């Protein structure tokens, strides 16, 4: 996929190494993000807390994740991507260990906070490495491979929990502890390879070395860069559409198991297999999305994806089809929503300037993680008071909002940047 022709073998190998390693890191981080949704019914009983309180714990993790996006983005853009990658990876694993050992709800929240700090750095470190290690005509597919790894990461915890609890007879604590151990080992490996084996033109930050640090204070530089980013309407538009899409997607991710167990009386293991299937289908669809993005542009792919997401959520929320059909709808939904991921990344990269790539992706990731922060507590509250059917209807309404913002963002900002680039 990443061959660049004879005479550039070393570059091609380095591209493959970076894309492969960073995709593995995305796998681990995404597995950490969904440790709780597959076991919400068990946690509610074991820790004696309501679904809405567990939703609040997931929201706290996402809120902390959001707060640390820009600090990690600044670190990756201005100082050291390897340090950003290492801190993110190690802290995520430590947070997962705390969750596994938590004797009660307060300790569970502490684990979620530490995990949120760690996972906050993965996009800020990953995307600049991917961008500098690839060429413009392969970047969409590189983003697809990267997000394929992330989607498999989402799919892993339900399988691990099902095997550990239903087959082997262990507990959810053993399962999370295993995932944390794998994540910690991988953190050491990926950080060492990027620090010592990847060329500086890929791993070094994109900063203007002609600008002396003595000319302006750190506070002034941070304010100036934040002002530039917050004044970039294209990046802010992408962040808004990802906020809405993420709210819908995290509502779906967080409560698919609850929807199927409460609304269709599926067993916990069967519902987790459906959740796994949703992510596995999504992983394959990400590769399709990368191909479509490279050939048709990210804007069109985003619109098609969000329209399909909205329609399928409306049909699922109506609960007018039997269990077997709704399982199929969830699997199709996993594919439809996932083709948007490489398109979103391509649009962000195209709208970002060269020396603010990490911070631009951090801004967009803030939209993603705010959606993650909002969805679990809000939709958990709606489930507790209004039921799963009404809640999935609300999720569909949010997806419709994402579709509208996407159309506006693509028509207003993407053509403008394309024409500006062509003139340059």
Are the C-beta atoms of residues 386 and 261 closer than 8 Å to each other?
no
How high is the pLDDT of residue 78?
78
How high is the pLDDT of residue 6?
44
Q: Which residues of 108-133 are buried (b: 16+ CB within 10 A; e: fewer)?
A: bbbbbbbbbbbbbbbbbbbbbbbbbb
Using a 10 angstrom Cβ sphere, with 0-12 exposed, 13-18 middle and 19 or more buried, the burial of residue 6 is exposed
How high is the pLDDT of residue 15?
83
| Euclidean distance between CA atoms 253 and 376, whole angstroms | 9
Q: If you average pLDDT over residues 48-60, what whole number do you get? A: 90
Residue 162 in tokens: 């099902």
**Which residue shows structure tokens 């068990």?**
42
Three-state DSSP at 148 gives helix
Of the pLDDT bands very low, low, confident and very high (cuts 50, 70, 90), residue 72 is confident
Q: If you average pLDDT over residues 135-147, what whole number do you get? A: 78
Q: Which residues of 362-373 are buried (b: 16+ CB within 10 A; e: fewer)?
A: bbbbbbbbbbbb
How high is the pLDDT of residue 411?
66
Q: Write phi, then psi, for 253 (nearest 5 degrees).
A: -60, -45
How high is the pLDDT of residue 259?
93
Residue 109 in tokens: 């929240």
How high is the pLDDT of residue 255?
92
How high is the pLDDT of residue 5?
44
Using a 10 angstrom Cβ sphere, with 0-12 exposed, 13-18 middle and 19 or more buried, the burial of residue 149 is buried
Of the pLDDT bands very low, low, confident and very high (cuts 50, 70, 90), residue 203 is low
Tell me the per-residue pLDDT of 81-125, one tens digit each, with 9 for 90 and over: 888 888 999 999 999 999 999 999 999 999 999 999 999 888 888
Are the C-beta atoms of residues 70 and 359 closer than 8 Å to each other?
yes
| Euclidean distance between CA atoms 389 and 200, whole angstroms | 52
Which has the closest alpha carbon to 61: 32, 22, 97, 24? 32
How high is the pLDDT of residue 414?
54
How high is the pLDDT of residue 103?
92
**Which residue shows structure tokens 């080992």?**
185
How high is the pLDDT of residue 100?
95
How high is the pLDDT of residue 207?
53
How high is the pLDDT of residue 206?
55
- Asked if the model's pLDDT at residue 1 lies above 80, the reply is no
Q: To the nearest 10°, the Cα dihedral for 118, 123, 128, 133?
A: 100
Tell me the per-residue pLDDT of 360-401, one tens digit each, with 9 for 90 and over: 777 887 888 788 889 989 999 999 899 889 999 999 999 998
CATH 3.90.550.10 fits 11-204+221-417, yes or no: no
Q: If you average pLDDT over residues 171-192, what whole number do you get? A: 94
% of the chain surpassing 90 pLDDT: 36
- Asked if the model's pLDDT at residue 213 lies above 80, the reply is no
What predicted TM-score, i.e. pTM, was given to this entire model? 0.73
Residue 324 in tokens: 């077997």
- Asked if the model's pLDDT at residue 7 lies above 60, the reply is no
Q: Where are the domains of the chain?
A: 11-204+221-417
Are the C-beta atoms of residues 161 and 175 closer than 8 Å to each other?
yes
């Amino acid at each position: 996929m990443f061959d660049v022709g004879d005479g550039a073998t070393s570059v091609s190998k380095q591209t493959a190494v970076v894309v492969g390693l960073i995709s593995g890191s995305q796998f681990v981080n995404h597995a950490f993000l969904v440790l709780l949704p597959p076991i919400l019914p068990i946690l509610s009983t074991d820790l004696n807390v309501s679904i809405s309180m567990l939703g609040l714990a997931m929201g706290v993790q996402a809120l902390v994740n959001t707060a640390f996006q820009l600090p990690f983005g600044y670190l990756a853009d201005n100082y050291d991507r390897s340090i950003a990658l290492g801190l993110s990876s190690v802290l995520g694993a430590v947070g997962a260990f705390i969750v596994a050992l938590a004797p009660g709800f307060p300790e569970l929240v502490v684990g979620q906070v530490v995990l949120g700090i760690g996972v906050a750095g993965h996009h800020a470190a990953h995307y600049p490495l991917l961008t500098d290690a690839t060429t413009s005509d392969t970047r969409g597919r590189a983003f697809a491979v990267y997000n394929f790894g992330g989607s498999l990461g989402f799919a892993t915890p339900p399988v691990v929990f099902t095997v550990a609890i239903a087959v082997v007879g262990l507990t959810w604590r053993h399962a999370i502890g295993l995932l944390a151990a794998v994540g910690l080992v991988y953190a050491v490996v990926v950080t060492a390879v990027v620090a010592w084996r990847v060329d500086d033109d890929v791993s070094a930050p994109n900063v203007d070395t002609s600008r002396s640090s003595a000319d302006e204070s750190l506070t002034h530089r941070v304010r100036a860069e934040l002002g530039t980013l917050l004044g970039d309407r294209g990046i802010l538009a992408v962040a808004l559409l990802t906020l809405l899409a993420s709210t819908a997607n995290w509502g779906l991710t967080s409560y698919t198991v609850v929807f199927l167990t409460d609304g269709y009386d599926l067993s916990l293991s069967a519902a987790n297999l459906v959740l796994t299937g949703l992510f596995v289908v999504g992983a394959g669809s990400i590769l399709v999305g990368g191909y479509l993005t490279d050939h048709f542009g990210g804007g069109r792919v985003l619109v098609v994806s969000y329209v399909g997401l909205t329609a399928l959520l409306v049909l699922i929320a109506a609960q007018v089809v039997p269990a077997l059909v709704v399982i199929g709808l969830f699997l199709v939904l996993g594919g439809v929503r996932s083709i948007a991921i490489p398109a979103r990344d391509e649009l962000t990269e195209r709208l970002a300037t060269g020396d603010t790539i990490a911070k631009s992706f951090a801004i967009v990731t803030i939209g993603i993680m705010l959606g993650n922060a909002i969805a679990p507590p809000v939709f958990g509250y709606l489930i507790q008071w209004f039921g799963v059917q009404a809640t999935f209807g609300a999720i569909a309404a949010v997806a419709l909002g994402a579709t509208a913002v996407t159309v506006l963002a693509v028509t207003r900002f993407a053509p403008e940047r394309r024409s500006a680039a062509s003139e340059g």
